[in-house]
Structure 1
Amino acid sequence: MDDNSTRVADYLDDRLQTLGDLDSLHDLLATITTQHGLLKKQLHDAKRDLHDAKDAAHAHHDSLAQRADAFRHEQADIDRRLMVITASETSDEAVPRFAEVLDTLHRLDVATNYVDLLAEVDKLSKQAQAKLQTSSEAALAPYKQLRAIHTRLINLQEDAEGAAPQLVYYVSKITHTLRTKILDAFSAQLEHTLKKIRWPLPNATIPAHLREEWETAFVKLLDLQSPELEGMNYANGPGNKVKLPPVLFPMEVLVQPLEMRFRYHFEGDKPTNRIDRPEYFLSHITTLLNDYSGFVNDHVQPVLLRHFRGTDLALNPVYIDAMSAFITALLPMLRTKIGSLLPKVAGQPQLLSHLIHEVMNFDTDLRDTWGYDAGHGVEGWKGLSWEFLVQGDWFGRWLQVEKDFALSRYQNIVEAPDFGDLDYESVDPKATKPTKGAIRVNDLLETITDRYRPLTSFSQKLTFLIDIQIAIFDKLHERLQSNLEAYLTMTTSLGRAMGGITKEEQERLLGVEGLERLCKTFGSADYLERAMRDWSDDVFFLDIWEELQDRARSPTSNIGTMTVADVAGRTSKKVESDDMEAGSLFDETASWYARLRDRSEKIIIDTLNSNVREALRAYRHINPWATLGGPSASSSAAAEPSPTAELDPLLVYLRTTLTFLARALASAPLRRITRAMLTTISTVFWENVLSRYRFSTQGATQLHADVLAVCRVVDKHVGPGVAETGLRKCLEGVKLVGLPVKGSPSSSSSSTSGQDHQAKHDDGGGEDTEDWDTEAWGAAEDGGEEEPPSVVVAQKAKHHPGATPSFGGGNEAGAAAAAGAEEVLGLWEVEKRLFADNQAARDVLDELGLELLSETEARALLRRRVELAG
C-alpha cells in the first residue's frame, strides 16, 4: 500500500470510529471537497507566480547582456580615441599621457586666474593711489573693492586648508600698503581739525563752524575701517586665546597726543616712572577718562550713533559707545607698559603682588564705573589682569608669591606671644571668645579673599581657594588639634610620667588653667566654623559654588587640572552627589572644625565631671543625716542651716570654674556644659547620699540646704533655672525624703499645730520624736530659705492651682499659711498611698509635683526616713 493510501486509511480510521460517525459522512465528504478545491487554487497560483518569475529573470538577463555589450563598445571607442590623441600603441600608455595633459591645462587655467587677479589688484591699487592725489574720498571706492578681494581670499584659503599662501600674502601686502596711505591722509585731516580746537586740552570743544569739518574727517576714518570691522569676529575664540577688540581709527588719532604724554611720564627717567608705584600710571589713565569724558560724550558719541545706526556693528558697545571706544584706544599703551614692567618685578614678590593687585583694581574700576565690557556682552570683559595672568602665563608665579606671603603672615600670627590668648574685646560679650590668633587668621583669610575676588577666571579663583585659604585652615586645624592632644597627654598618668609633668602642674591643668586651654581650642574652632558658614552665604563664594556644580555635571568630569573627586575632597562631598543644593565650598573644612569643637566640649565636660566627683569625695563619705538633731529652743526659728563643711570644695570649684566659663563661653554652650556637670552632681547626690543613707527630718533639711547652695552658685553665674533643671530629680528626691511627719488639713488647724507640738515636746508626750522632727523641719523651712526651685514649683502649681509646694517637707504652719487652706501631705499619708498600688503612688507623686521620680524610686527613697526604718 502506497503512502497516500495509508494516509487516507489513517484519516478514515480517525474520523469513523463508531457507527454514529457514519451519520456525519456527508458532512465529512463536503469538508474534504472544499479543502481539495482550495488546494487546487493555491497550486494554480503558485504555478502562475513561478512562470512570471522565470519571465522576469530572462528579461533581466537579456538587459544585462545588452548593457555589457554596449559598455564593451564604448570602452573600445575610448581606447581607440586615446591612442589616436596620444599616439600610443595601447590604452594603458594613453591614460597617463592624457592625465598629464589635463593637469597642464588645469595649471594653466589657475595661472591665468592668478594673473587676472593680480592684474585686478594692481589696477585697483593704482586707481586708488591716483585718486588719492586729487580726492581722498574717491580713493575709498577702489580700496573697498580691493579689501573685499582680500577678505574673500582669506576665507577661501581657510576652506582650502592654507592653499596659495604667496598670493594671499601679496594681496595682503598691497591692501595694507594702500590702507596705510589712505589712513595717513585721513588722519592728517582729522589732526588738522583737532589743532584748531587745541586738542588735547581737557576743556576743548568744537565750535559750530567746525562741526561739519570735524564730522567729515571723523567719518572718513570710520568708512575706511568699516570693511575690516564687518569681517571681524574678535569675541569668539578659545578660552585662553580671546582676541582683543579693534581700536577705531579716529580714536587712535585722538589718543596719539595722550599716548605721547603717557610715555613721557612713565617710560623715561621722570620721578613718576617708578616700578613700585604702578598706581601712578593706572590712576593717570583713570584721570584721562574723567577729564575727557565730557568731550567724548558731547562730540564723539553723536557721530558714532549716526554712522553705525542701522548696521550690525551698532550692537557692539565698543563701536557704538564713545566711552567704550575711548577706553579701547587707551588700553594698548597700558598693555605695553605692564608688559615691560612685569619682567622687572618678577623677582621681587612684593612688587609683583602689588602690581597685579593694582591692575585688578583698575579692571574692576573700568567695569563698575564706566561699564566697560570690551564687546563681550553677558560674559563681560576679563580684564588686563586676565590677559597677563592667563594669556601671558603669569598666574603660576603670582599664585606662588601670594601663597608664600599668606603662609609667612600665618606663621607670624601663630608665633606671636599672644596667639593663644582669649580675646574678650573683639567679639560680642555674650559670644564664645576665640583666641586672638584665630581672629587674626580669619582676618588674614578675608584679606586673601579680597585679593583674588576681582579675578574673572573660575579655575584661578578655585585654585586660590584650595591652595591658599583651605590650606591655611588645614594648618590651623592641625595646630589646634595638636594642642588638644597635648592637653590630653599631660593630664593622663602615662603622659605625666613620660612628659615629666609634676603633680602641681597637673593640678593647674585640671583647674581653670586647663579649662582655659580647652576653651581656646573650643572658641577658636567655633569662631572659624561660624566664619566659614557665613562665607558660604557670600555672593562671591556662592558664584564659585554654582560654577563648580556646572563643571561637575559636565561630561569631562575635570575642573581645571583637578578631577571632581580631588575638588570634592577639599571642598564638599556633595559636589559628587546629586543633592548639591544644600552644599557649600567649605563643607569639608567646616565639618572638621565642628568636630574639633564638639570634641573640645566633650573634654571640657569630662574634666568638669572628674573634678566635681573629686570635690565631692569627702562629702559623699559623711553620714550625719540620720543623727542630726533639731535646733534648740533658744535658737531663731528663722535660721537657715549652713551648707555642710564637706561641700565647700565643690562650691569653691563651681564659683571659680563658672566665673571663668561665663566669660569665655556663649550662653548656649555654657548651659550645655553646666547641665552636663549638674547631671554628674545629681548622680553623686542620688547614688552616694540619697540612695545610701537614712535621713531624719533635720538631716533632710541639711541636705536640702546643701542642694540649694549648689543651685545658688550655679544660677548666679549661669542664669536662673539652670541649676533647678539639672538637679531636678535630686530636688524631687530631697523633697520626698524630707516630707513632714504630719500633714496640715487647713490653715486654722495648722496655726496651732506648732504650739501643740511644742507642748507635747515639753510634756514628754508619746509622739515627742515625731513632732519634734516635724517642728525642726518646719523651722528650717521658715528660716528664711529661698523660694523653692521654680521648675518644681511650676509643676506643683500645674497639678494644684494656687498651691505653693515646699521642698524638703516641713512646717505645716508655713506651708498652710503660704497656700491658704491648701492641704499639706504628711509622711504617713504619703507612705500609705505610695505603697498601696502603682496608681495610688502615681497620684500622690503628681499631687506632690514629683514628675521625674518613678514609683519604685520613690518607695526606695521613702524607706530612707528613719521614721519608716522599722
Structure 2
Amino acid sequence: MEDTDLKQNVVYKLNLEFGKDIKSIEKSHDLYKKLQEEKNSIEKSLSLASSEVPSKVSAAVKGVEDTSLEINRLIDKFDALSSAVGNQLTNSEGIAIQLQEYIDKIDLLERTLAYLQCIKTIEDISKSLESSLAEKDDLKCVELYVSLCSQNKVLQHSKCQHLVSFVSDTVHFWHNLLKQKFSTEFEAVLKAIKWPFLNVVATPPPDALHRFQLFTEFLLKLQLPEDLLPQPVVTSTLLTDFAPLCLPISLLIRPLRKRFLFHFYGTRQTNRPDKPEWFFTQILTWIRDHEKFVSQWVQPVLNMNNMHPISAKLEMMRGLVQLAVEKLHSELPHLKYDDTLFSHTVDETLGFHHELRESFGYPSSQPSVIGVLTQAQIFVKWIHMEKKYAREKMDAILSSDTAWLPLGTPELDELRVTECGESFLTLLLTITERYSSLPQPGHRLQFLELQLELLDEFRVRLLQLLHENLDPLSPRFIAILNTISYLASVLQEWGGLTHFLQLQYYKVQFDNASTNQGTGSSELEGLQGTVFDDILGLMLRMKDELITSLCEAVMMDIMARSREYRKDKWFAMPSPKELVNPTVTPSVCLMFQVLAERLHQLQERLSVPLFSEAWQTLARQLNQFIYEEVILQNNFNEGGAMQLQYDMTRNMFPLFGQFTQKPDIHFPQIKESCILLNLSKGSALLLRDTLRSCLTDDELEGLQEEEVLSEIGVHRLDAKKSIDVLNLRTDLTHI
C-alpha cells in the first residue's frame, strides 16, 4: 500500500513538473540530477544519524532508489518517444515539400493554360479585326480594339514578360493601323466641314457633323493605354509641362500647326522678330474662331464616353499655346541682345497671357508662355530691363514741366494728387500687373524687391529736391508733401491686398529658411506687418518732418507780426464795457490777417488729411505761443483781461471754427487763462487762497485742487499755474 501511494505521489509530482507537453520531458535530466544531489545529501546526513531509527532510514533509502529507477524508466521512454516523434516530423516535412511541388506544378499549368487562352483570345481578336477591316466595319474595329486593350490591362502585372511583350506589340500594331485609317477618314471629314475656319465660320452640313462626331468617338477610344504610351521626344524642358493632347484634338490642331509654321518660321514676311504680336494675335484669333465649335460638337462626345474632366476647349487652347511657347523659346535667346526687341516681346507675351486668362478663361494651373520668360537667363534679362526702363520712366516723370501740378481741382480731389505721384504709382502698378501671374513665389519676390528699390529711390529724389532750399510755403514744397502723403496712403492700402499679403508670407518663409529658423504654422498664423513697412515708415517720417517744417514757417510769419500785440499795455486798457461795440485789439490785426491767409493758403494746397493735421499742429503751437509770450509775459487789468478774452474767443477761435465745431478745445491754456483773468475779484481772491492752501496742506493737495478748478472750467492748468495766472491780475497784485 505504501509502495502504491509512493508511486502515485511520484507520478503526481512528475505530472506537475512536466505536464502534457512531450518536449518538456527533456527537463527529466535536470530533475534526475537534482534528485541525485538530494539523495547524496540525505545519505550523508543519515550516516550521522542515530542508530535508533535504522528501519526509517532503510525505508527512506529504498524510496529514493525506487524513485531513481522510475525516473530512469521514464527517461528511456522519453528518448524512444522523442525519436519516434522526430521521425514522424521528418516524414511530414517531406510530404509537405512534395505537396508544395505538386501545387506549384498545378499553378504553373493553370497559368500556362491561362496564357495560352489569352494568346488564343488575342489571335481571335486580331483575326476578327482583319475581317472587320476588310468589311469596313469601323464600329466593330473599335470595339475589338477596346477588347484588345482590356486584355493588355489584365496582363499588365503578368510574370511572363514574353506574353506581356506579345500583347503590347499586338496593341501597338493595331493602334497604328487603325489610327492611320481613322485619321485619314477624320481629315476627310474636316475638309467636308471646311476646318479650320478662317475669318468666316461656315455652317457644316448635318451628315458631315454626324460623321465628325462618330470619328471623334472612334479616335477617343483608339487612344493607347497609359502604360503603352511612348516617351515623347522633347526638344525643350518647357514642353514637358504639356500633357499629350487627346487624339481628335491633336488632329484638329494639325492643320493650324502647319499654317503657323508656314507663316511664322523661315523667310516669310510674316516672320518678323519685331512683330511678335502677329503670331500672338493669330493664335488668339484661332481660339476665338474655333472655341464654340469644339465646345458644341467635341465636348458632348467626351461626355458620352465618361471623359467629363477633359475640356475640349481647354485641350484646343493648350495645343495652340504650345505653338506660342515653341516660337518664343526659339526667338527670345536671340532677342536678349537687343533691348528694344526683347522688351517689346516681353510686353506682348504678358499681354497675350493676360488676354488668354481674362477673355478665354485659360487656367493658371496650365503651362503657358510665362514659363519661357522665367527661364534663368531670360528672367535675369527681363528683370534687368524692368529696372532700366522703370528708372528711365521715373526720370521722365520727375523732370516733367507739369510734374507737380495737381491732376484735379481742390473741390473734386481731396488728396491733391500730383501728376508726378500718380504717374509713379501707375508705374508701380504696371509692374505689379506684369509679374502677378508668375507661378513661382521666388520670381514674384524679386520683382517686389525691384518695386521697393524704386520706392526708396523716388523718396531720395524727393529729398534731393527739398534740399534745393525750397521755401516751406512754396507750391513745390507743398506738392512734394502731398505726393509723399498720397504714396504712403496708397502703400498702406496695398499692404492689405491679397497679392502683397501672400508675398509677405513667402518673404517670411524665405528669410527664416536663410537663417535656418523654423517656419511652423504657429509663426505664420501670427504674421505681422506688410512688405511695405520699412519704406512706409521712412515716408511717414518724411511726411511728419515736412509738416513740422511747414507749420514752423507759418508760425515764424505769425510771430513776426505779433511783437506789438505782445508788448501792448494790457495793464492799462479801458474796459470794453465802456465801448458801444467792442472791437479787436488793433495791434493783433496784422497777426490775425497773416494767420487767416496762411490757413486759407494751406487749405487750398494741402490734401484734406494733411491740412487737418497741419491746422491742429498750428493750433497747438499758437496756443503755446500766446500763453507763454502774451499772457505770462504781461499783467492785466480788468479791461486788458476782457480785451484778451474778446480777441481770442471772438476773433482767433472762429478762424479755426470752420474746421471744427469746438475750436476752443484746441486752445486749452488760452481759454482757461481767460477764465482766471476774468473772474470777479472776490472769486479770484477766494480761488487763489484755496489753491495756496491746497499746495501747502498735504491732506488737501491733489484731489481738492482739481475739484476747485474744475468747478470754474479749468482742467489743463494745475494749481501752481493757475496761481501764476491769477497773480498777473493788477487788482490782485498787492493783496
Over 3 Å counting, the alpha-carbon distance change for 1:303 and 1:59 in structure 2 is farther
Q: Does 1:439 align with 2:422?
A: yes
CA distance in 1, matches of 2:396, 2:330: 34
Paired residue for 1:10? none
Shift of 1:261: 3.3
Shift of 1:177: 6.6
**1:452 aligned to 426, 435, 447, which one?**
435
Task: Show the 5 A alignment for 1:19-34.
Answer: none
**1:864 aligned to 710, 724, 728, which one?**
728
| Alpha-carbon contact 2:239-2:322 (below 8 Å) kept | no
Over 3 Å counting, the alpha-carbon distance change for 1:845 and 1:129 in structure 2 is closer
CA distance in 1, matches of 2:638, 2:348: 82
| Alpha-carbon contact 2:473-2:550 (below 8 Å) kept | no
| Alpha-carbon contact 1:433-1:664 (below 8 Å) kept | yes
**1:640 aligned to 583, 598, 608, which one?**
583
Shift of 1:624: 2.0
Shift of 1:730: 1.5
**2:634 aligned to 672, 680, 693, which one?**
693
| Alpha-carbon contact 1:225-1:249 (below 8 Å) kept | yes
Q: Does 1:681 align with 2:622?
A: yes
Task: Show the 5 A alignment for 1:40-439.
Answer: 57=27, 134=134, 137=138, 179-201=175-197, 202-210=200-208, 213-225=211-223, 227-228=225-226, 243-267=241-265, 269-306=267-304, 308-309=305-306, 314-318=307-311, 322-373=312-363, 380-390=364-374, 394-416=378-400, 419=403, 421=404, 423=406, 425=408, 431-433=414-416, 435-439=418-422
Q: Normalising by structure 1, report the TM-score.
A: 0.59
Moved more, 529-538 or 675-684: 675-684
Partner SS, residue 225 of structure 2: helix
1:845-864 residue CA offsets vs partner (Å, 9 max, x unmatched): 66765554555544443333
Q: Does 1:624 align with 2:563?
A: no
1:117-147 residue CA offsets vs partner (Å, 9 max, x unmatched): xx99998999799669735647668866886
CA distance in 2, matches of 1:200, 1:331: 17
| Alpha-carbon contact 1:522-1:600 (below 8 Å) kept | yes
| Alpha-carbon contact 2:146-2:221 (below 8 Å) kept | no
Q: Which residue identity is paired with 1:281?
A: F
Paired residue for 1:670? 611
CA distance in 1, matches of 2:427, 2:269: 34
CA distance in 2, matches of 1:145, 1:594: 74
Q: Which residue identity is paired with 1:389?
A: L
Task: Show the 5 A alignment for 1:526-675.
Answer: 526-542=485-501, 544=503, 548=505, 559=510, 563-564=512-513, 577=523, 579-580=525-526, 583-605=529-551, 608=554, 616=562, 619-620=565-566, 622=567, 624-628=569-573, 637-638=580-581, 640-644=583-587, 648=590, 650-651=591-592, 653-675=594-616
Over 3 Å counting, the alpha-carbon distance change for 1:364 and 1:842 in structure 2 is closer
Over 3 Å counting, the alpha-carbon distance change for 1:836 and 1:355 in structure 2 is closer
Q: Which consecutive residues of structure 1, in runs of 5 or more, have no partner in the other structure?
A: 1-45, 75-111, 374-379, 488-504, 553-557, 740-825
Q: Which residue identity is paired with 2:630?
A: V
CA distance in 1, matches of 2:376, 2:224: 30
Q: Which consecutive residues of structure 2, in runs of 5 or more, have no partner in the other structure?
A: 1-12, 32-74, 91-111, 695-703
Over 3 Å counting, the alpha-carbon distance change for 1:567 and 1:667 in structure 2 is farther
1:476-529 residue CA offsets vs partner (Å, 9 max, x unmatched): 234445666x48xxxxxxxxxxxxxxxxx7xx74x624x963x45543332112
Q: Which residue identity is paired with 1:134?
A: A
Shift of 1:444: 0.6
The CA RMSD over aligned residues, in Å, is: 5.4
Shift of 1:191: 2.3
Q: Which residue identity is paired with 1:640?
A: T
Partner SS, residue 672 of structure 2: helix
CA distance in 2, matches of 1:574, 1:624: 73
1:439-462 residue CA offsets vs partner (Å, 9 max, x unmatched): 321111011112223333333323
Shift of 1:240: 8.5
Q: Which residue identity is paired with 2:310?
A: P
Over 3 Å counting, the alpha-carbon distance change for 1:407 and 1:58 in structure 2 is farther
Q: Which residue identity is paired with 2:620?
A: T
Q: Does 1:472 align with 2:454?
A: yes
Over 3 Å counting, the alpha-carbon distance change for 1:398 and 1:433 in structure 2 is same
Task: Show the 5 A alignment for 1:677-826.
Answer: 677-704=618-645, 706-707=647-648, 711=652, 714-715=655-656, 719=659, 724-738=664-678, 826=680
Paired residue for 1:88? none
Shift of 1:258: 3.1
| Alpha-carbon contact 2:122-2:148 (below 8 Å) kept | no
Over 3 Å counting, the alpha-carbon distance change for 1:692 and 1:134 in structure 2 is same
1:331-360 residue CA offsets vs partner (Å, 9 max, x unmatched): 443333333332343323343344344334
How many residues are matched?
635
CA distance in 2, matches of 1:856, 1:574: 58
Partner SS, residue 535 of structure 2: helix
CA distance in 1, matches of 2:135, 2:30: 77
| Alpha-carbon contact 2:242-2:318 (below 8 Å) kept | no
| Alpha-carbon contact 1:248-1:329 (below 8 Å) kept | no
Q: Which residue identity is paired with 1:638?
A: N
CA distance in 2, matches of 1:615, 1:168: 105
Shift of 1:685: 3.0
1:518-555 residue CA offsets vs partner (Å, 9 max, x unmatched): x455433321121112223434435555xx36x96xxx
CA distance in 1, matches of 2:30, 2:193: 93
Q: Normalising by structure 2, report the TM-score.
A: 0.69
Q: Which residue identity is paired with 1:316?
A: P
Over 3 Å counting, the alpha-carbon distance change for 1:154 and 1:350 in structure 2 is farther
Q: Percent identity?
A: 21
Over 3 Å counting, the alpha-carbon distance change for 1:264 and 1:734 in structure 2 is same
Shift of 1:153: 9.7
Q: Which residue identity is paired with 2:447?
A: F
Over 3 Å counting, the alpha-carbon distance change for 1:132 and 1:608 in structure 2 is same
CA distance in 1, matches of 2:225, 2:705: 103
CA distance in 2, matches of 1:223, 1:699: 106
Partner SS, residue 468 of structure 1: helix
Over 3 Å counting, the alpha-carbon distance change for 1:316 and 1:535 in structure 2 is same
CA distance in 2, matches of 1:469, 1:479: 15
Paired residue for 1:831? 685
Partner SS, residue 670 of structure 1: helix
1:152-180 residue CA offsets vs partner (Å, 9 max, x unmatched): 999899xx9xxx9x999999888767644
Paired residue for 1:512? 473
Shift of 1:723: 5.1
CA distance in 2, matches of 1:195, 1:692: 103
CA distance in 1, matches of 2:668, 2:344: 63
